[in-house]
Amino acid sequence: MTPRSSAQVPLVLHGDDQAAQLERFRATHPEVPVLLMGTRPRAWVGCQKIEHPTLRGLLDDLEEIFRRDTRVSRPGTPQ
């Protein structure tokens, strides 16, 4: 794994909010590699590869996965 650099972020981010959302996710979940090179943004959660045509969609999917995992890991928490 190589250190993240601004060169890894594609030039076609649709607004600063996506860059900020990506940085927040990376800060919260450094164990999840997010790859932006190639045709589709992708990430790996454990052994599961998550792909989406857009960065925004990938980040939304990842946040939903971790939100769901948080609810499951807290017994007695309404779901």
* pLDDT tens by residue, 60-75: 999 999 988 776 665 5
Prediction pTM value: 0.65
Can you give the residue range of the structural domain that contains 25?
Answer: 17-72
The H-assigned helical ranges of the chain are 16-28, 55-72
36 falls within a domain = yes
Residue 12 in any domain: the answer is: no
Considering the domain boundaries, does residue 56 fall inside one?
yes
Q: By the 8 A CB rule, do 71 and 33 touch?
A: no
Q: What's the CA gap between 36 and 54, in Å, rounded? A: 10
Q: How many structural domains compose the chain?
A: 1
pLDDT tens figures, 19-32: 899 999 999 999 99
Residue 10 lies in a domain: no
